[in-house]
Structure 1
Amino acid sequence: MLTNLDEHMRIERLEDLDRRHLIHPWTDLGAVRAQKPLIIDRAEGVHVYDVEGKRMIDGMGGMWCVNVGYGRDEIAEAMAAQAKRMCYFSPFTKNSTEPAIEFAHRIARYTPGDLNRVFFTTGGSTAVDSAIRFIHFYFSFLGQKEKRHIISRENAYHGSTYLTATISGKPGDKPNMRFATDIVHHLPAPNPYRRPDGMSLEAFGDQCVGDLERKILELGPETVACFVAEPLLASGGVIVPPPGYQRRTWEVCRKYGVLYVSDEVVTGFGRLGHVFASEPVFDIVPDVITSAKGLTSGYVPLGAFIVSDALYNQLLDAAGEGQMFANGFTYSSHPVACAAGLAALDILEREDICGHVREWGPYFREQLGTLADLDLVGDVRGSHFMVCVECVADKKTKEPCPSAWSVAKRVFERCRERGLMIRPLGNWIVLSPPLIIGKAEIDEAVTALRGAVRDVQGDLVREGVWRA
């Protein structure tokens, strides 16, 4: 039996090894030697526990992904059973496995229109990257090699491959990195909170839709391959575009022969109350949908892009003889991952988790909206179980908090003390809990966040850097 001293030594060892060997995503290299890693030891339902036994509501849902919650034996057992039967086989050329076939079939039941063709990848970044490669292949196949330009948006996030990092538009991710800037173009973010003073929401919507049309005409419709858009811009601050924006931009793409890629890596598999939100929430049937995260509820990496029959069927039979879509991954269609996805989808369906999100998501959003009465909070935005609280130095001018204040990081630490995990992003506090969260946990999370923001407000005033 471990003593308290043994346990203390174990934790110190893990912290030391972490600092010496692990490179974390999005690491502040100036602080990496001094920072103490937060080591999560176990999880159950909507809660995670660190190595010291501290229990916290996971307001992040892992990373937008643990949709059906932690500790689902059914998923773990499905993975184990598949691994025992056959852990892996190459997915290339004609090779296939039953879990991959069945999961593709199940996914196609939920996609809008004729989006029936599923290409499995290893995560969201490779899903978007592969979708773009497919689109470039498609136009080249049709003899339209000049159609290669990609339109995205500022504050968008689409991945971490070389191409998807270029398509992403978060300015804080750009320094010291290199990108394929010759074919990627970014529109202004469709963020109503940051629209010009005095401009109506309707006029701002017109401007945002016009931005897309003007860019297509500037580049020439014959050169533009696709518009890549998250229905709601997730890690770019949970930006909710003006009403009707998604449908109207889809119509612009149709008008000019530009393919529409709906990046549902975050919004898919229940986060907005539907397996896919494109059609039931935003009234669009895109040419391509990308997915990951909730695809397996985060239990194992998997991504996918789903393409329409209208596009894919043009490449088949005699027309496609000798042509090779040269894209794929060793772990595409991984049978263990697909088994996990099937089990996660079973839970989503059986427990009507999408219905639960439609019922309680508005309450989650409304309760977080009450934080707008705090002096440090400028905006609360989002939908259902994806919400952002934006902190500002001045509510009237919407002036952002200086980076030196480290507002969201401070709120993160204060939330941890109160039993809540949030995602800090600059001046943004992002919440995207497991979709099974109930009223009691919602109320607890909102109370904890309110107390944490109040604490940080007090700290800033005492330090003499801000006056409420």
Structure 2
Amino acid sequence: MTSEEGRGAGDGADDAVMRLAERHLVQPWPVSGSIGAEARGRLDAGDGIYVTDAEGRRLIDGPAGMWCVNAGHRNRALAEAMAGQAMALSYNSPWYTTNAPSAQLSARLAGHAPNGLDHAFYTTGGSSAVETALRFAQFANNVKGRPEKKLIVSRQGGYHGSTYLAASLNGRPRDHDWMDSAADLVVKLTCPDPFRRPAGMSVGQFCDVLVEEFRQVIEDRGADRIAAFIAEPVMASGGVIVPPEGYLLRMGQLCRDNDILFIADEVVTAFGRLGHVFASKEVFGIEPDMITFAKGVTSGYFPLGGVMIAGRLFEELRRSNHSDAMFAHGLTYSSHPVGCAVALKNLDLLEEGLLDHARAISGHFQNSLKALEELPLVGEVRGLGLMACVECVADHESRNPLTLDIEVGKRIDRHCQELGLLVRPLIHMCVMSPPLTISLAQIDEMVAILRRGIELTMDDLVREGLWKG
């Protein structure tokens, strides 16, 4: 940094931070036309469900950061837990020492997880959590003398991370357009999106087709070659896709019948987003072999993720003939004491009322957003708990997305920001997943702003000749 740049940032000039970002900061998911020379909208403060941008506007944080600020911004209890642990023990090497918060957190998470998932391995986020689960599945099969049992089954529309193996599972085409992946290790099933099911097919029939597809893949590829099936209970970044009723239970049964590990990717759905610490069993009735988590585990106050793993899997390894086989996987920041201390306090907040509050208001949240379906641009509003998606379409009959303007979600977000709301735009969709602390009145305010943002976008599209209305 030059002295001029440093003074600019310190002086608080309106554009100083943006200039620094353009010159030195590489943003996530950039396009080549602006990579390494991009500055995105600046946020300067947060409080409760609100954030304040560089222009001083107070905005409802509709996406809760990135599905993660569950306890809200500026939560003093979490900040004090972070500071207190940093002053007590800021770091220890997980290679040869243990800290108390990580052990205590593991026990408490085991108490909330489905029966048998009583061990936790900690990472730095969701991508590394999924990577850990996959590598453990590979390791376990190697130790068991099954090196050919390595295929991972995921779904179109799913999202599981940005690290190499985790990203290979992603089912969104744009994620793979310019990026390499371990495609030879992955089989992708049809996206379980009832809104996009074939015309004339009932939701129940659609579910039958999805399950039969998996059964056929097992038969064609061979159960002896498939290591795991991974699924988000609700597809988050794919557009809050809630699968047909009974789908996950039936997929889980196929896994059990064929000795395939079932990995529930709860990076988004855990820690209150669906009203429970873990949603797998409480909401969907499933008992996976592993659950990946991150985001809401610390409400975004510290980078932490992890995997809950069934104890029986460790027992099987301990009974093997390869007692010297090493699971050569770990991170410098595995079991970080500060992160685990924040997660413990975050669990306190959830258990002491935030989970109850999330469950109590989720019906109003879903019903209020559902009313937006009366708008001509809105094809469907779907969701569960405190996560929802507004999907825009060119017309209700064909349910085609707006093919002439893939930026419709960003248009809505721009209008909403002018009115006091941040939206998570996903091409022709808008995702809403506010902090769990949101009140009924704040939900009404959020929905009213979103409605007006969509109305203004409809006016824009008609005026520009991109949509007939």
What band does the TM-score fall into relative to the shorter chain? over 0.9
Q: What does residue 438 of structure 2 align with?
A: 437
Is 1:459 aligned with 2:460? yes
Q: What does residue 448 of structure 1 align with?
A: 449
Q: What does residue 358 of structure 1 align with?
A: 359
The 3-state SS of whatever aligns with 1:198 is coil
Question: Separation in 1 of the partners of 2:252 and 2:318?
Answer: 26
Question: Separation in 2 of the partners of 1:168 and 1:22?
Answer: 26
Instruction: Kindly indicate whether the alpha-carbon contact (under 8 Å) linking 1:117 and 1:312 is maintained by their aligned counterparts in 2.
Output: no
Instruction: Kindly indicate whether the alpha-carbon contact (under 8 Å) linking 1:403 and 1:426 is maintained by their aligned counterparts in 2.
Output: no
Question: Separation in 1 of the partners of 2:242 and 2:413?
Answer: 23
The 3-state SS of whatever aligns with 1:394 is coil
**Which residue identity does 1:60 align to in structure 2?**
P
The 3-state SS of whatever aligns with 2:379 is strand
Structure 2: gaps (5+ residues): 1-7
Instruction: Kindly indicate whether the alpha-carbon contact (under 8 Å) linking 1:237 and 1:428 is maintained by their aligned counterparts in 2.
Output: yes
The 3-state SS of whatever aligns with 2:184 is coil
Please show how residues 245-256 of structure 1 align to structure 2 within 5 Å.
245-256=247-258
Question: Separation in 2 of the partners of 1:438 and 1:212?
Answer: 41
Is 1:78 aligned with 2:98? no
Q: What does residue 370 of structure 1 align with?
A: 371
Structure 1 residues 274 and 423: alpha-carbon distance in aligned structure 2, compared to 1, 3 A threshold:
same
Structure 1 residues 36 and 88: alpha-carbon distance in aligned structure 2, compared to 1, 3 A threshold:
closer
1:51-96 Cα offsets, whole Å, 9 max, x none, are 221101100011000111111111111111111112111101x421
Q: What does residue 425 of structure 2 align with?
A: 424
Q: How much identity, in percent, do the aligned residues show?
A: 45
Instruction: Kindly indicate whether the alpha-carbon contact (under 8 Å) linking 2:44 and 2:54 is maintained by their aligned counterparts in 1.
Output: yes
Q: Report the alpha carbon displacement of residue 317 of structure 1 after superposing the two structures with TM.
A: 6.7
Q: CA RMSD in A?
A: 1.7
Question: Separation in 2 of the partners of 1:366 and 1:102?
Answer: 38
Q: What does residue 398 of structure 1 align with?
A: 399
Structure 2 residue corresponding to 1:217, chosen from 195, 216, 219: 219
Q: How many residues are aligned here?
A: 462
Structure 1 residue corresponding to 2:323, chosen from 301, 321, 324: 321
Q: What does residue 383 of structure 1 align with?
A: 384
Question: Separation in 2 of the partners of 1:177 and 1:33?
Answer: 18
Please show how residues 61-72 of structure 1 align to structure 2 within 5 Å.
61-72=64-75
Q: What does residue 236 of structure 1 align with?
A: 238
**Which residue identity does 2:379 align to in structure 1?**
G
Instruction: Kindly indicate whether the alpha-carbon contact (under 8 Å) linking 2:387 and 2:432 is maintained by their aligned counterparts in 1.
Output: yes
The 3-state SS of whatever aligns with 1:330 is coil
Instruction: Kindly indicate whether the alpha-carbon contact (under 8 Å) linking 2:164 and 2:182 is maintained by their aligned counterparts in 1.
Output: yes
Question: Separation in 2 of the partners of 1:422 and 1:207?
Answer: 34
Is 1:199 aligned with 2:205? no
Q: What does residue 48 of structure 1 align with?
A: 51
The 3-state SS of whatever aligns with 1:388 is strand
Q: What does residue 172 of structure 1 align with?
A: 174
Is 1:28 aligned with 2:27? no
The 3-state SS of whatever aligns with 2:243 is coil
The 3-state SS of whatever aligns with 1:404 is coil
Question: Separation in 1 of the partners of 2:11 and 2:92?
Answer: 43
Question: Separation in 2 of the partners of 1:276 and 1:325?
Answer: 26
Q: What does residue 348 of structure 2 align with?
A: 346
Q: What does residue 227 of structure 1 align with?
A: 229
Structure 1 residues 80 and 169: alpha-carbon distance in aligned structure 2, compared to 1, 3 A threshold:
same
Is 1:124 aligned with 2:126? yes
Of stretches 238-247 and 398-407 in structure 1, the one that deviates more from structure 2 is: 398-407
Question: Separation in 1 of the partners of 2:90 and 2:12?
Answer: 36
Q: Report the alpha carbon displacement of residue 316 of structure 1 after superposing the two structures with TM.
A: 2.4
Question: Separation in 1 of the partners of 2:82 and 2:89?
Answer: 10
Structure 1 residues 181 and 405: alpha-carbon distance in aligned structure 2, compared to 1, 3 A threshold:
closer
1:77-127 Cα offsets, whole Å, 9 max, x none, are 1111111112111101x4210111111111111011110010000100000
Structure 1 residues 14 and 72: alpha-carbon distance in aligned structure 2, compared to 1, 3 A threshold:
same
Structure 1 residues 79 and 241: alpha-carbon distance in aligned structure 2, compared to 1, 3 A threshold:
same
Instruction: Kindly indicate whether the alpha-carbon contact (under 8 Å) linking 1:260 and 1:287 is maintained by their aligned counterparts in 2.
Output: yes
Q: What does residue 289 of structure 1 align with?
A: 291
Question: Separation in 1 of the partners of 2:82 and 2:437?
Answer: 21
The 3-state SS of whatever aligns with 1:399 is coil
Instruction: Kindly indicate whether the alpha-carbon contact (under 8 Å) linking 2:421 and 2:446 is maintained by their aligned counterparts in 1.
Output: yes
The 3-state SS of whatever aligns with 1:395 is coil
Is 1:306 aligned with 2:308? yes
**Which residue identity does 1:145 align to in structure 2?**
P
Q: What does residue 148 of structure 1 align with?
A: 150
Q: What does residue 99 of structure 1 align with?
A: 101
Question: Separation in 1 of the partners of 2:165 and 2:73?
Answer: 32
Question: Separation in 2 of the partners of 1:35 and 1:314?
Answer: 50
Instruction: Kindly indicate whether the alpha-carbon contact (under 8 Å) linking 2:133 and 2:292 is maintained by their aligned counterparts in 1.
Output: yes
Structure 1 residue corresponding to 2:115, chosen from 91, 113, 116: 113
Question: Separation in 1 of the partners of 2:193 and 2:419?
Answer: 31
Instruction: Kindly indicate whether the alpha-carbon contact (under 8 Å) linking 1:19 and 1:32 is maintained by their aligned counterparts in 2.
Output: no
Q: Report the alpha carbon displacement of residue 36 of structure 1 after superposing the two structures with TM.
A: 5.6
Of stretches 76-85 and 110-119 in structure 1, the one that deviates more from structure 2 is: 76-85
The 3-state SS of whatever aligns with 2:122 is strand
Question: Separation in 2 of the partners of 1:209 and 1:58?
Answer: 37
Q: Report the alpha carbon displacement of residue 29 of structure 1 after superposing the two structures with TM.
A: 3.6
Is 1:11 aligned with 2:14? yes
Instruction: Kindly indicate whether the alpha-carbon contact (under 8 Å) linking 2:123 and 2:306 is maintained by their aligned counterparts in 1.
Output: yes
Please show how residues 245-284 of structure 1 align to structure 2 within 5 Å.
245-284=247-286
**Which residue identity does 1:53 align to in structure 2?**
G
Question: Separation in 1 of the partners of 2:359 and 2:304?
Answer: 25
Q: What does residue 338 of structure 2 align with?
A: 336
1:167-210 Cα offsets, whole Å, 9 max, x none, are 11111211110010111010010000000111011100101111
Instruction: Kindly indicate whether the alpha-carbon contact (under 8 Å) linking 1:116 and 1:307 is maintained by their aligned counterparts in 2.
Output: yes
Structure 2 residue corresponding to 1:181, chosen from 180, 183, 188: 183
Question: Separation in 1 of the partners of 2:287 and 2:16?
Answer: 52
- Give me the TM-score of the superposition, normalised by structure 2: 0.96
Question: Separation in 1 of the partners of 2:18 and 2:9?
Answer: 14
Question: Separation in 2 of the partners of 1:30 and 1:403?
Answer: 21
Structure 1 residues 340 and 188: alpha-carbon distance in aligned structure 2, compared to 1, 3 A threshold:
same
Q: Report the alpha carbon displacement of residue 320 of structure 1 after superposing the two structures with TM.
A: 5.0
Instruction: Kindly indicate whether the alpha-carbon contact (under 8 Å) linking 1:99 and 1:338 is maintained by their aligned counterparts in 2.
Output: yes
